[in-house]
């Protein structure tokens, strides 16, 4: 037996042992059916804004945004403003030439 056949045989054995078909219980199926059909129920009122509740959110309040979102958004906005200002502010291109940098004596070779 050559090596690829040996590896294929071992892989087939491993997958045959590891695979177990999902067998949901009747309670799970009933709950799933209820959650899927809940937004379409005629006798159930919809919220004030007219939208149906998403699956699983009935009876639970909306989760608030994490506390770090506002400072993160502010930092991102500040970064964008700084990037835009750096593009708008004219730079002195004469001081950026090699000769000008070497003449100042601050550049190491």
User: With bands split at pLDDT 50, 70 and 90, how would you rate the model's confidence at 1?
Assistant: low
Question: For 102-106, what is the mean pLDDT?
Answer: 75
Q: Is the pLDDT of residue 25 over 60?
A: yes
Question: For 10-34, what is the mean pLDDT?
Answer: 87
DSSP states of 41-108: -SSSPPPTTSPPPPTT-TT-PPPPPPTTHHHHHHHHHHHHHHHHHHHHS---GGGGSHHHHHHHT---
What average pLDDT does the chain have? 77
pLDDT single digits (tens) 37-78: 887 776 655 555 555 555 555 556 666 667 878 888 999 999
Q: Do the beta carbons of residue 101 and residue 107 sit within 8 Å?
A: yes
- Of 46 and 31, which is predicted with more confidence? 31
Rounded CA gap, 59 and 47, in Å? 11
pLDDT at 78: 96
């Amino acid at each position: 037996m050559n090596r690829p056949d040996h590896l294929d045989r071992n892989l087939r054995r491993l997958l045959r042992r590891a695979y177990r078909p999902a067998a949901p219980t009747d309670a799970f199926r009933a709950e799933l059916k209820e959650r899927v059909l809940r937004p379409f129920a005629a006798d159930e009122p919809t919220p004030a804004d007219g939208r149906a509740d998403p699956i699983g959110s009935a009876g639970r309040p909306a989760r608030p945004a994490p506390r770090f979102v506002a400072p993160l958004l502010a930092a991102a906005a500040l970064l964008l403003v700084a990037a835009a200002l750096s593009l708008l502010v004219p730079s002195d291109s004469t001081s950026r030439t090699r000769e000008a940098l070497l003449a100042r004596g601050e550049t190491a070779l």
